Structure 1
Amino acid sequence: MMEEIPEWVKAAQAKWKYRGLRRPSFAIEPQSGQESVWDYPRPPRIVRDQRHVIVRANGRIIADSQSTYRVLETASPPTFYIPPSDVGNSVLLPRAKSSLCEWKGRAQYWSMKMDGLVLEDVAWSYMNPFPGFEVIAGYIAFYPNRVDCYVNEELAQPQPGGLYGGWVTQDIVGPYKGEPGTGSW
């Protein structure tokens, strides 16, 4: 069942300063084969991606897919959403914790139990996303600052700040939302 967008969330959506319509003067100019996060739209766009995505923890493969979705949002590196069938969910534990994205809806968080250890909040998913984001319902996104996330064998770097889950790779240029003072980006 799809969640309806509350009016206060619609008001929050309207407050964003940058919407991907033009690059700000401080944006890095992309080179051939690169994308600028400042060209991504707001509200975010979902794009099918067939590059090889692997997620590892303690050297063990947790997810392996060539059928992901990337969510592209102004000022943020892409976040990869992996189909649940490509995730070894036997290591994932649902958490009671949740948060609300003004575009995608209520996120459920996942921890991972592996080798006797529990790693908190390694991933999240939207079980009942807002309209326009139904295609990622149940898909799982991993934090590259908590597990190793690869795109075509390149280890993705985490989006700055620790709060967001974007995957920074060589084909993406910023600067990126997440650093101090970037909350309105």
Structure 2
Amino acid sequence: MVKVSLNGTVLADSNDTVVVENNHYFPPSSVNRSLFTESDTHTVCPWKGTASYYNVTVDGKTVKDVAWYYPQAFDKAKSIEGYVAFYKNKVAIV
């Protein structure tokens, strides 16, 4: 089981993450969406596609761009399409 938390609040947990480039990508169903809002940030990976980002609010404090996902991944990254990954320097991943 891999778990992501911020200040003791669980953001995601799953036994079915997909590891790509040393990042755990969590299935959408394992993410506590009630804490997430869409960010305006987008980046492009040459082999995964365009990433969208999430902000997370815990205890009234918002952390910007704490997680990302690929809504329409390129063919080589279809296994993580829609899955959510987190910045290790912004959350606890165990």
Whether these two folds match at TM > 0.5 is yes
- AA at the equivalent of 1:106: T
Residue 80 of structure 2 corresponds to residue 136 of structure 1: yes
Residue 16 of structure 2 corresponds to residue 67 of structure 1: yes
Q: Which has the higher contact order (CA 8 A, sep 6+)?
A: 2
CA displacement, residues 66-85 of structure 1 (integer Å, 9 cap, x when unaligned): 0010114xxxxx11100010
Quick one: percent identity of the two aligned structures?
Answer: 39
Once residues 86 and 24 of structure 2 are traced to their aligned partners in structure 1, the CA distance between those partners, rounded to angstroms, is 8
Give unpaired runs (5+ residues) of structure 2: none
* Contact 2:38 2:53 survives alignment (8 Å): yes
Matches within 5 A, 1:76-155: 78-150=22-94
Deviation at 1:106, TM superposition (A): 0.2
Report how many residues are paired.
94
TM-score (norm 2): 0.96
TM-score (norm 1): 0.50
- AA at the equivalent of 2:42: S
> Where has structure 1 moved over 3 Å in runs of 4 or more?
none
Query: Larger C-alpha radius of gyration, 1 or 2?
Result: 1
Deviation at 1:119, TM superposition (A): 0.4
Once residues 61 and 116 of structure 1 are traced to their aligned partners in structure 2, the CA distance between those partners, rounded to angstroms, is 15
Give unpaired runs (5+ residues) of structure 1: 1-51, 73-77, 151-185
Residue 49 of structure 1: aligned partner: none
Bigger fraction of residues in strand: 2
